[in-house]
Chain A
């Protein structure tokens, strides 16, 4: 608890810098990542992330020191090279894009690991910490590194801010963007460069192996909560920042711990949380909606059954026992019980000693459903020429969906009919 307080109070200047740095890096990669995801280039981001490793190692091999600017330059060069290579392979061979991405990713990463291993065995003392690029270490983000990477991250955010409308159009409809005279080639180049840069600055805190998650996960999670691009970008940045800060905290309390996996794990939790709980698009919301619909169908079916029972005698107010209803409707007893109670609460049915009976309001509602059922049956036989013994099953579902507008339209089409294909009466609108 004390450590948390110490961390949150930000009294230690070092903690302050590391945290601010982590947040900045996380936010910038999330913002750029939104466009990567929307342009369906998520895998390309992964390839770039892995391809920067040989660049980092080469920069070190040539200079023998860990100068952040040179490391950045090295990784930028190989990151870019990997993208060019993917394009060249795709354009000049029969290999498809996904295969090209897979090839380039593994080859570059393999070479990177090769270099890294040979550096580690070279005996150069400066090399300690280079392996941090594999899984990241936010705590290593101090001094010159922080300033360099932070500046690049700010540059990224600024570019997106300035060219927001262009990137939006480019991601949605690049062909149209070209026809209105936007420099699409240049913008695509810039956006790709920004992706590479986002990866390059992010590897300090997350590492090359998991970096693509920083691009993709926040965007994917944010998309669940909104249908607005602006909100999506901000949300992704916020989620990512939160996880970045948490990563900094982990790095602060347990310096030996790699931060990358922590940040990515937290991000994934956020993504799963969004996936399940997001309104409308989340699984839970969709499940609840499904359940509501099923319950409504059960209720309408009960009303209908009572109506049918009454139709035989013309006595709609008569009471029937649960058993009598069940005979006509195969439903689990418990579900039926719940539905009956809800119907009573709504004043659609009433309970007496003999059982359940429709109220006046209930009869009206039942009539509506039966009407829709028979109208639909008639429509199917008249317009789709479906045999009259096949229409019932179909109408059983459709009766619950039809809207008043469609009902009106059907009536017009069928010239206000009074009987269905089975020659039973279609109840008129009260």
Chain B
């Protein structure tokens, strides 16, 4: 069940991505509607994070292309914001919550220019939206896991983008934070933004998202939640691991084969 939309916010076309010379995503083809809360769901090692990293241009593509708002990433970078996994950075870094939120304004600022009063205000507003204004001056290692996640969200909010890609924003956060975050994401959707979230909890997926992408090394489904979160499709996502697919990946890796014979081209 792969449903496509007209004038998509995001189009992923025939995307194959490998990690350390091992393909982890095979020929993914999908489009996403605007003003939606989208969940990417699948088991561990399904390539969920890989998909959004590939969309953000953080991983080289073996085939296919990605278009955002009908353009390449380079052209619309300022309209797209990425929230990495919380564990991807060292939180012992000498910076305050405000410092990190302020990093969201660096893209707009451009090289050499220093953040000033305007940027500070933007960062403070972003911290307020995630309820972290009282912790602005706190060193980031002294924050709890949920608070650190909120700071990462604030940094993305300070970018003021139209499309947000978030890698496991609900991982390791307390219930209060999870509720606060989902409320915020809903507000963002009402404001016309599209939010794509890597998620691992099937239970909450049903009422969090209005569009779901089911992934397990290949795309299993992409469509409105009630049409995708069906027992049959979930069985396909979680039950049947395609051992042949993993074995071919393994083979390509071991024999040092190129994943594709030609480099990817756009359209």
Chain A residues within 8 Å of B, Cβ to Cβ: 38, 40, 162-166, 168-169, 171-173, 175-183, 223, 226-229, 232
A226 CB contacts on chain B under 8 angstroms? 94
Complex Cα–Cα for A92 and B267 (A): 33
Q: Is the CB of A165 within 8 A of B94?
A: no
The answer to whether B255 has its CB under 8 Å from any CB of chain A is no
Q: Give the chain A neighbours of B94 by CB distance below 8 A.
A: 38, 223, 226-229, 232
> With A172-B93, A227-B139, A228-B94 in contact, do A179 and B56 touch (Cβ < 8 Å)?
yes
Q: Which of B58, B100, B109, B139 contacts A179 (CB 8 A)?
A: B58
Q: Report how far A172 CA is from B88 CA in the complex, Å.
A: 10
List which B80-95 residues lie within 8 A (CB) of chain A: 80-82, 84, 88-90, 93-95
B106 touching A182 by the CB < 8 A rule? yes
26 pairs from A and B in contact (CB 8 Å cutoff): A38-B93, A38-B94, A162-B112, A163-B111, A164-B114, A165-B106, A166-B111, A168-B103, A169-B103, A169-B106, A172-B93, A175-B82, A175-B84, A175-B88, A176-B103, A176-B155, A178-B56, A178-B57, A178-B58, A179-B58, A180-B104, A180-B159, A181-B107, A182-B107, A183-B111, A229-B93
Q: Which 10 A-B pairs have the closest CB atoms?
A: A180-B107, A227-B139, A179-B82, A181-B77, A229-B94, A179-B56, A173-B89, A172-B93, A227-B94, A232-B94
Q: Are A176 and B84 also in contact (CB < 8 A) when A163-B111, A169-B103 are? A: yes
Asked if B96 is an interface residue, CB under 8 A from chain A, the answer is: yes
Contacts of A162 in B (CB 8 A): 112
Residue of B nearest to A232 (CB): B94
- Chain A residues with Cβ under 8 A from B80's Cβ? 179
- For residue B192, CB closer than 8 A to chain A, the reply is no
Interface pair A171/B93, CB less than 8 Å apart: yes
Give min CB distance, B63 to chain A, whole Å.
21
Give Cα distance in the complex from A271 to B121, angstroms: 37
Given A163-B112, A165-B115, verify A172-B103 contact (CB < 8 Å). Answer: yes
Question: Which residues of A lie under 8 Å from residue B57 when comparing CB positions?
Answer: 178-179
Instruction: Report Cα–Cα, A376/B14, bound state, in Å.
Output: 57
Asked if A172 contacts B96 (CB within 8 A), the reply is: no
The smallest C-beta distance from A186 to any residue of chain B, in angstroms, reads 10
Contacts of B74 in A (CB 8 A): 181
Contacts of B107 in A (CB 8 A): 180-182
